Amino acid sequence: MSTTKRIKALNKSGSALLYTLLCIAMLSVITMGLAGISMTQSKISRDYYDSTKLLYVARAGMTRALSELARDSSWPSTSPYVGTLPFGGQTASYSITVTPAAGNSNNTYKVWEVTSSASLGNSNRTVRAIIESEALTKYVMFTDSAMWLWGRSETSDSYNGPIHTNKYFGFWGKPEFDSPLTSSNKDDSYYNSEKRKYTQDEYVTYDPSLFYHYVFGYSYDEPIASTGSNNFYFAGGQPEKYLSTNTTSQEANATYIIAGNATVTFLDAGGVEVVTESGTQIYSTDKVTLYINGTVQVSGTVNGEVTLACSDEVYITDNLVYSDKTLDVLAIVAEGNIMLYTEPEDIRDIEINAMLYSLNGNFSVNRFYEGAPRGVLYLYGGVFQKNQGGIGKCDTWTGELEHGYSKNFVLDPRFLSRPPDNIPVTGRIRIKAWRDNVAPLYIN
Amino acid sequence: MIERRLNNGFSLAEFIVSLGLFLILTSSLAGTLMIGMRCYQASDVDVDFQKSVRDTIEAISNDVRQAVPDDAPGLFGNPATGYKSITPSISPTGVLYPNVNEASTNYIIFNKPDYSYYNPTLASWVPLDPRNFRKIRYFVQNDNEIIREVTLFNSDGSVASTHQDSQAIVEEGSIQLICSMQYSDDMNPFYRVRVIVSEEEKTFSLSANCRIPGGDY
């Protein structure tokens, strides 16, 4: 090639290179900018993804704690408990710390504070929960057997609080309620639990609000909301709640154990007087469990926090009230019946402030089917019984009270937040309070 | 030879043509790039917008899920601080509104433990102490701002303090909060929180269902 041609070729190469370099430079700047934005977005997404993953790992740790504590209330043997979890090709770990409440070891009702921390690489997230034994305190009336309720406009029976039966409800007329009613329909021949199907006479339904027994028909016999109440609903086919059959736990954890039959009188000034064959003794009522190996007659004014348990029957012989309804608490747990032992001639209203548990019997009134109407039985607490007991007897057609007491039962909701020691529990544990602190987020 | 070499260089016409071609090429490229960038920015704004709504709903629902029933009755003439203050009566619950009396509201009020006082693991814990709980209220202010209001109580049930924080704000547009109470199959209540944000011609709506772990007594 000659020198002239070589120079010409070089001139052409030079201009193309200039343009190419300019284009490459521009594209490079744009690409780097886009890559920067993309990387930032990618990092934000990854952080969010990791945080979400860690939340689920921490929750898995909490679920593990719930499962283990239901099985063994002293779990874990060494704290914190560390577990691992395969997660999207990586291995996440969680650390569980359990702090039991003071007094858990001698109480049927137990509380724990549980912390579950999850970590993955350099990231971590923590959730906390207060976990408790599920106490049987939710209902104003509960039976482990079928419960029949009559409804006539003239009747003055009143229930303020949820009602539950492990079997089924039977309704005659249209009883009114201002709180939810639920049934488990256990051993109910009309109920097919697998298909959640209810068959009564020619009626076939899948609607839980119709899972009850009627006398004449659904249009004649049904539970309805009382005037002004929005809180009522009826639902059958609900989970069964376990009612213990013995007081073994109460006896094992008792503060005081008394042998033989006893007459128990709560003293307004505080303390409780217990009279037995062997003499009279005053015991404290400051967060105590009193266990009596025999039958009990009880009355008085409660000043303190007491669980009164016994191996036999309990007779409430007169008013049994709190000195202060905001502070004082009484639970009565009997293996046998609990009876309001007043005579038919004793015409007056009676007030009972207590949560009553008849584990193998019922709560009833002495000779409730005799004499003139005695008055109103005011119960502030709840009734948990194996079988439905008689409180009064109404005229079948008019609904007017003929014998015994009409009922005014009001649930004491304090038992929900902090039940007294050694109250019957269902065997389940549940989350009482959930705590998950994440940074506050804002728009703009 | 020198004459031929000079003839091989750029003439003015060649330069103008090549420059013109370069400008056309780069301007069309830039135009395409600008359209791409605008699309990217628009979608980026949309994504940010949706993320903001999602963050807001997550923050509110996470807060609501920590609600716990407050049993404190009215003390010393002060009204009850929890569910007992509501008429007609409702079942014990951490979420006060919405409830069975008002199933849908444009605000939500609930009780959340104040862990300075709330500790059921302690024997000395007083369940009825009104200081155990803070009352939280989310509501919309001026149609464009979600406010989180926190009320603290004294031991006698009187109000100790109330303060408000902006939780979400839309500069040019509006925001709505819709809360409702519903029942699950096992008849336990849950709460649906819905946030609707409108900005310019865009509207995004997200909802979250909140079941209260401590609320289903």
B177: which 2 tokens?
């909060």
Mean pLDDT of B26-34: 88
Per the structure, the count of domains in chain A is 2
- For residues A94 and A103, what is the distance between their CA atoms, to the nearest angstrom? 28
Per the CB < 8 A criterion, the answer to whether A308 and A330 are in contact is yes
Sign of the C-alpha dihedral computed for residues A247, A248, A250 and A256 taken in this order: positive
Domain that holds residue A25: 3-136+429-435
Please give the C-alpha separations between residue A85 and each of A89, A96, A371, in angstroms, as whole numbers: 10, 13, 69
Q: Residue B217 is nearest to which of A102, A138, A233, comparing CB atoms?
A: A138
**Do A126 and A148 fall into the same domain?**
no
**Which one of A224-228, B41-45, B72-76, B164-168 scores highest in mean pLDDT?**
B164-168
**Do A364 and A393 fall into the same domain?**
yes
pLDDT at A363: 98
Half-sphere exposure of A421 (CA within 13 A, CB side): 27
B21 domain residue, yes or no: no
- For residues B203 and A365, what is the distance between their CA atoms, to the nearest angstrom? 64
pLDDT at A5: 52
**Do A114 and A155 fall into the same domain?**
no
A444 domain residue, yes or no: no
Report chain B's mean pLDDT, rounded to a whole number: 88
A120 domain residue, yes or no: yes
Check CB contact of B22 with chain A, cutoff 8 Å: yes
**Do A7 and A93 fall into the same domain?**
yes
Per the CB < 8 A criterion, the answer to whether A138 and A419 are in contact is no
pLDDT at A187: 94
pLDDT at A444: 31
Using CA coordinates, name the residue in chain B closest to A12.
B9
B178 domain residue, yes or no: yes
Using CA coordinates, name the residue in chain B closest to A111.
B121
Is A436 exposed, middle or buried (CB count within 10 Å of its CB: 0-12, 13-18, 19+)?
A: middle
Q: Please give the DSSP secondary-structure letter assigned to residue B209.
A: E
Mean pLDDT of A259-285: 96
Those residues with Cβ within 8 angstroms of residue A229's Cβ, 6 or more apart along the chain or in another chain: A177, A178, A179, B88, B89
Nearest to A143, CA basis, from A109, A176, A175, A187: A187
Mean pLDDT of A335-363: 97
Check CB contact of B32 with chain A, cutoff 8 Å: no
**Do A221 and A350 fall into the same domain?**
yes
pLDDT, tens only, A70-124: 999 999 988 899 998 887 788 888 999 999 998 899 999 999 999 999 988 777 8
**Residue numbers in B near A34 (CB within 8 A):** 40
Q: Please give the DSSP secondary-structure letter assigned to residue A49.
A: H
Radius of gyration from C-alpha coordinates of chain B:
30
B24: which 2 tokens?
């056309």
pLDDT at A166 over 90: yes
Per the structure, the count of domains in chain B is 1
**Do A94 and A148 fall into the same domain?**
no
Using CA coordinates, name the residue in chain A closest to B50.
A443
Inter-chain residue contact A130 with B214, CB threshold 8 Å:
yes
Q: Residue A442 is nearest to which of B1, B100, B167, comparing CB atoms?
A: B167
pLDDT at A11: 54
Residue A236: band (very low, low, confident or very high) from pLDDT cuts 50, 70, 90: very high
Tell me which of B201 and B217 has the higher pLDDT.
Answer: B201
pLDDT at A162 over 50: yes
The interface pTM score, or ipTM, of the predicted complex is: 0.81
A234 domain residue, yes or no: yes
Mean pLDDT of A252-265: 97
pLDDT at B9 over 70: no
Is A210 exposed, middle or buried (CB count within 10 Å of its CB: 0-12, 13-18, 19+)?
A: middle
B107 domain residue, yes or no: yes
Domain that holds residue B157: 48-211
Those residues with Cβ within 8 angstroms of residue B187's Cβ, 6 or more apart along the chain or in another chain: A180, A182, A233, A235, A238
A442 domain residue, yes or no: no
A353: which 2 tokens?
């402030």
pLDDT at A3 over 60: no
**Residue numbers in A near B21 (CB within 8 A):** none
**Do A294 and A182 fall into the same domain?**
yes
**Do A358 and A245 fall into the same domain?**
yes
Check CB contact of B116 with chain A, cutoff 8 Å: no
Mean pLDDT of A261-289: 96
Mean pLDDT of A395-415: 87
Inter-chain residue contact B66 with A434, CB threshold 8 Å:
yes
Mean pLDDT of B98-122: 94
pLDDT at A150: 80
B9 domain residue, yes or no: no
